[in-house]
Amino acid sequence: MGSCIICGIPVDGGHVCDSHQEDVLFEFRGNHASQLIDNRFYEGTVDGYADFGVFIDLAPGVTGLLHRSELDRRLESLSWEPGDTVCIRVNNVRDNGNIDLGKSIRQTEREFRGKLILDGTDEKLPEELTDDTEDATDADSSAEDTADESGGDRDDAETASETESVAVSHGADTAAETAESVGETTDETPTRSDASSGGAVTVTERETEAAYDEHKIESLSEQVEKHVRLEGEIVSIRQTGGPTVFELRDETGVVDCAAFVEAGVRAYPEIELGDFVRLDGEVERRRGELQVETDELLTLEGDDREAVKGRLADALSDRARPDVLEPIGDHEAVAALEEPLLDVAEAIRRAVLESRPVVIRHPATADGYVAGAAIERAVLPLVREEHARSDAEYHYIVRRPLENAVYGMDAATKDATRMLQDRDRHDEKLPLFCFVGAASTADSADGLGLLGVYGAERIVLDSIAADTDVDDVAEQVVTAGANAAGLSVGALTAMLAAALNPAVSEDMQHLPAVSYWEDTPEAYTTAAEAAGYDAEQVTNVREAVALEAYYQSYQDKRELITDLLFEDAGDLAAHIAEQFREKLHTELSTAQANLESDERDGVSFAILDTDQFSHRFDFPSTELLVDELHRAERDDKAFVTVGIGMDELYLRTTQPVDIRAVAEAAAETAPEAAVTARGVREGRIEFLAGKREAAKDAVLEAVAAQF
């Protein structure tokens, strides 16, 4: 029985009582996450950054995630660099070995009231560990003294011992390599680069082939604790606080290969991103994941390089192109888009196979979330299948909602900054950006162009016709427009997702129906019913997603959206949809009581001052409120609903109008108001706040003229 180092009370099997667990800083010297204890503070080393947080090494092979939601500031504002020592809190160790971390406001040892060593499952005082080390050192010294006393036989014994030790430590390294490590080299053996500093280590071709059998990455699960030879492309290089981790891709998958010189030192500095290599190593499992411990890493040149490069390219082409696109519910509107959608599916699958991140950008609306989540649902299994790391799904598929359908310079600057940081810090490839229900109008050309300056691939997918400016700044533009009238972007991407990954086709059947607020094509309601979603369930899901899309609109909310759209076993959608209806009904009643009426050239207008008669910073959004007002107030005649705020207005009409033409006509009528169309898709027009009345009159006149 010990005593608490803080208060001195007796403690069973440790050195800190329950009351002072959070007053002590622990140094973890174990080898498995299960040895950690929740709600304690530990020293760690920054491994690297991702979009969703920071990876912290607690010990070699034991890494946790400090999620960005645990931070009191933006992730980009953290000053930590890879290799920095930090103090963090272990919030939870999951059953699968994943470690959830929290940030500590105390970042130095002196800010804690004591320090302990967690050596596996044993708590030790720092001086206890020092005593153990000294005892081991004394024992080694005693053994050396004994050997010295034995006289001249020691040199021969030491040489034999060294030879045996080197052979054991390198496993399948050859006898020639072992001989060289104790000073017996020959001129006949070729040399290779050593991980530590580029020194020469000899190895014969015959002996290497005998030691390392060639394998493909897909077969490594059957080769644990065996030595293998792999050939492929280096697609990522990460320097951790311990080893250097090379991510190697062949024609069958991707695997992490760790090479260690000393803590935090770059192994094989001559190896660069994109190199085609031959790697020899031992397959191991680390925290349940496959990893190859690197013994030798060589850059391929000449014919060897071209052979591997060609093999990977051929396999990539065969695996990337989907076989067929099968429209959900046989909606005829999709027939003309089959080939363009297959091209998009091929581009996304190729990005996954090339270890390029896929970034999905969509508006923070119900339809936008349905569209983005459909692609995410299809790509996630592809990423998991391709990459051995369990956290790969957070690196290689990212969904980032946009405030609206315009991809402006603010969002583009943020994306460009992130991708360049990931390239420079973590040697990540530039991502593929996929815009769904967004970036299809000229307002987004500058933002798309910024990504293009750095060579990031861009795909625009929408259910409305794209402006010609967008064709000039994106590699692929697939928009329905007049070819597929009545097609929602959610329906479009659900079919794309089914082509991307046929294994998720059944999950997509109800999504088109969810994406429509009204006038849902019968083919989609029938498909939803066949999938087990009746009209009430479809409505509940749509409204629940709309409510959650509004709150924390800039976050992907991956798990919550997945539960709502695909795995709602506990009436979650019905619960949230009820809140949706209550909030919307309250706001709608207030709005209807404060509508103004106007009529111009036979066109009736219902006008709501959203600044005065709506809660602008709570649900529903102005856009959703105006939509609902228009559905409630319109009739068979020419009718327009207007929601006008301090410097912007939204238009909803019973007949199609050209929003850009309306803005241009209004700008000519009221040039002092600086009227501009800023969101053609949302029917949004902006103007100067000080000229609001002039802008409103000019816009109403321009709308009436188009009826």
Inter-residue contact 93 to 99 (CB < 8 Å): yes
- 328 and 311 housed in the same domain: no
* Within a domain: 531: no
- 343 and 450 housed in the same domain: yes
Phi and psi at 689, nearest 5°, equal -60, -35
Q: Closest by alpha carbon to 538, among 560, 561, 564?
A: 564
Token pair recorded at residue 190: 């070729």
For residue 169, the model assigns a pLDDT of 34
**DSSP codes joined into one string, 112-138:** SSEEEEEETTEEE-HHHHHHHHHHHHH
- 465 and 477 housed in the same domain: yes
Residues of the chain with pLDDT under 70: 1, 72-73, 129-210, 287, 330-333, 388-390, 481-485, 569-570
- 309 and 358 housed in the same domain: no
Q: What is the pTM of this model?
A: 0.65
DSSP classification of residue 428: P
Length of the chain (residues) = 707
**DSSP codes joined into one string, 190-216:** -EEE-TTTS-EEE--HHHHHHH-EE--
* Within a domain: 126: yes
* Within a domain: 387: yes
Give me the torsion for CA of 452, 458, 461, 467, rounded to 10°. Answer: 20
The domain boundary, picked from 186, 208, 230, lies at 208
- 337 and 314 housed in the same domain: no
Distance CA 662, CA 205 (A): 76
* Within a domain: 536: no
For residue 331, the model assigns a pLDDT of 65
Structurally, the chain folds into a number of domains equal to: 5
- 177 and 127 housed in the same domain: no
The domain boundary, picked from 63, 96, 131, lies at 131
Q: Which H or E run includes 312? A: helix 302-320
* Within a domain: 254: yes
- Residue 582: partners with Cβ closer than 8 Å, 6 or more residues away: none
What is the CATH classification number for the domain harbouring 499?
A: 3.90.1640.30
- Residue 505: partners with Cβ closer than 8 Å, 6 or more residues away: 326, 498
The domain boundary, picked from 141, 175, 208, lies at 208
Distance CA 283, CA 375 (A): 33
Residue range(s) defining the domain that contains residue 224:
212-319
Strand partners, 455: none
- 272 and 351 housed in the same domain: no
Token pair recorded at residue 684: 């949004």
* Within a domain: 668: yes
Q: Which residue matches tokens 């609001």?
A: 692
Distance CA 493, CA 287 (A): 36
According to the 3-state scheme, what is the secondary structure of 332-344? HHHHHHHHHHHHH
For residue 459, the model assigns a pLDDT of 97
- 305 and 337 housed in the same domain: no
pLDDT tens digits, residue range 415-466?
999 999 888 877 788 999 999 999 999 999 999 999 999 999 999 999 888 8
- 220 and 337 housed in the same domain: no
- 465 and 382 housed in the same domain: yes
What is the CATH classification number for the domain harbouring 23?
A: 2.40.50.140
pLDDT tens digits, residue range 335-371?
778 889 999 999 999 999 888 999 999 999 999 999 9
What is the CATH classification number for the domain harbouring 692?
A: 3.10.310
* Within a domain: 274: yes
- 200 and 272 housed in the same domain: no
Inter-residue contact 65 to 100 (CB < 8 Å): yes
pLDDT tens digits, residue range 259-272?
988 777 899 999 99
SS3 43: strand
* Within a domain: 335: yes
For residue 129, the model assigns a pLDDT of 66
- 243 and 262 housed in the same domain: yes
For residue 188, the model assigns a pLDDT of 37
For residue 189, the model assigns a pLDDT of 34
For a pLDDT cut of 70, what percent of the chain falls above it? 86
